[in-house]
Amino acid sequence: MTGAGTPHPLRARLRSLRSAAFGADSTGERMERIRRSPNFGDGIFQNPVGTRHRPSGSTLDFAKVYFDRESRARRAPSGTVPVHPTTVADLARPPATGLRLTWLGHSSVLAEMDGARILFDPVWGERCSPFPFAGPRRLHPVPLPLAALGRVDAVVISHDHYDHLDLPTIRALASTDTVFAVPLGVGAHLEHWGVPASRLRELDWHESTEAGGLRLTATPARHFCGRGLRNQQHTLWASWAVAGPEHRIYHSGDTGYFEGFRDIGAAHGPFDATMIQLGAYSEFWPDIHMTPDEAVRAHLDLQGGAPHGVLLPIHWGTFNLAPHPWAEPAEWTRDAAGQAGQAVAAPRPGEPFEAAGKLPAEPWWRDVSRPLTPGWRRPPAAPGANRENLDLAGER
């Protein structure tokens, strides 16, 4: 029963039984390229600074926080999330200023910029999970069908976690003629799901490609990767800087705070708009996700240290992935950005806006949120510092 004398060893047989959503491992020339990467060492991809990507502290303490009945109730909206009724006509009309962003929930954003259309981290699936019957389920519907987006010049993926790289969405997009810009190693998953190698642009940090007249550059991030229980760390994670003839934008993917934002801004900024992760944070994993305070600081770093452009909060509101209350990222961001004098957009899912136009600012989440205790309104900790004294949602 070991597979001896048969054409496939046991490992290959077991691998063939796993769900397609787990993706595929890198092999051949792709794996050789991974090994040659300056960001690959000791058999795995490395972060730009020391990073803990497994939950810290006591498992029992985390379980008490995560499964507390009152805490669980706060982690979901108390009513129906008001999704904006975006139409095909809305997106067919060119942006008057040359740059329009549409937050489609979580980290999915359609950027229409200088005549091109870039779709970041598209997730249209009902769950961010390898299984259709388990895992975090959407807290609001997708604002519009994929087909309603119209032409997409490039799909940009930040990393291969399920809430950023979604099998049914990629398979639907594989039938179009769009190109896929992905971090090194992620292409193995997409080829496994039917994306032709000719439409893959697989990049290491600081490498660039072009699509629709825009320059897309994979930039460093502080996170990790993997889609299975046996995480080999053989796929890279990235943030993305996109430059066109008239505009520049930045998508953070998932990341903890690190000093590298300043270098990214110096090399590729300043940006007309940034899309920055500021949800799913916790004191149990302080190195791999940012609080709103840290996200605002990251935006300012990217802009050379001073308020500039527009900050679009992402990675919140769509999936329940952390102990904090559902609406806390939105409220905390309003406070942090207000203190910094930084413009922030607050669109409903699916609501297009132009970075140089009137920004959506209504706190719509308050109508469907349970009351919040603003424990973040204390003197903020330095970015990346020990946050054991912060009043995060998990401590309430």
Q: How far is residue 89's CA from residue 87's CA, in Å, rounded to a whole number?
A: 5
Q: 136: which 2 tokens? A: 């975090």
Strand-by-strand arrangement of the 248-251 sheet: 208-211, 214-219, 239-243, 248-251, 273-277, 310-314
State phi, psi for 155 to the nearest 5 degrees.
-100, 125
pLDDT at 129: 93
pLDDT given at position 374: 86
| Contact residues for 367 (Cβ-Cβ < 8 A; gap 6+) | 79, 82
Model pLDDT, residue 395: 28
Q: Residue 119 burial (CB < 10 Å; 0-12/13-18/19+)?
A: buried
At 2 the pLDDT is 37
Q: Which burial class, exposed, middle or buried, applies to 25 when counting CB atoms under 10 A from its CB (0-12, 13-18, 19+)?
A: middle
Pair 309, 303: CB distance under 8 Å: yes
| Per-residue confidence in pLDDT tens, the chain, 396 aa | 334 444 445 455 445 445 899 999 999 999 999 999 999 999 999 999 999 877 766 666 666 666 676 777 788 999 999 999 888 888 989 999 999 999 999 999 999 999 999 999 999 999 999 998 899 999 999 999 999 999 999 999 999 999 999 999 999 999 999 999 999 999 999 999 999 999 999 999 999 999 999 999 999 999 999 997 666 679 999 999 999 999 999 999 999 999 999 999 999 999 999 999 999 999 889 999 999 999 999 999 999 999 999 999 999 999 999 999 999 999 999 999 999 999 999 999 999 999 999 999 999 999 999 988 888 876 655 665 554 433 332 222
**Cα 119 to Cα 109: distance, rounded to the nearest angstrom:** 6
What was the pLDDT predicted at 17?
Answer: 41
Give the C-alpha separation, 316 to 253, whole Å: 12
Torsion, CA 265, CA 268, CA 270, CA 271, rounded to 10:
-110
What pTM, to 2 d.p., does this model score? Answer: 0.90
In this prediction, residue 57 carries a pLDDT of 66
Q: Which of 192, 155, 176 has the alpha carbon at shortest distance from 18?
A: 192
